[in-house]
Amino acid sequence: MCRNIKMLFNFEPPATDDEISAAALQYVRKVSGTTQPSKANQEAFARAVEEIAEITRGLVREQLITIGAPRTREEEAARAKERGQRREEQMRSRILGGAE
């Protein structure tokens, strides 16, 4: 999964339209292989972003069900930071461990 696409389901407060649109844009960028479409593809690119955002809105706001407690953005940010630090430590140990 693209690291720039954030989890949107089961948050308190719920995901905003801006968060959903940003995730849709990242998805379309990833699958199309471009961050800026050519003029010939701009309309299709924009339409894809809007359609994916609409589908995502319905999914996270109406279709998915959970019995788990809602997450907070602060908790998720702290977890992401911790994962990043662990990844960095692993990479450093691989690099430094191989140099000896």
- Say what the pLDDT of residue 9 is: 87
* Spatial separation of the C-alpha atoms in residues 46 and 42, rounded to whole Å: 6
pLDDT of residue 7: 79
Angle between helices 17-32 and 42-58 (to 10 degrees): 130
Output the pLDDT for position 56.
Answer: 95
66: alpha, beta or left? (left if phi > 0; alpha if psi -120 to 50): beta
For 26-68, the pLDDT digits (tens) are 999 999 999 899 999 999 999 999 999 999 999 998 898 889 8
Kind plus residue range of the DSSP H or E element containing 42:
helix 42-58
pTM of the predicted structure, to 2 decimals: 0.73
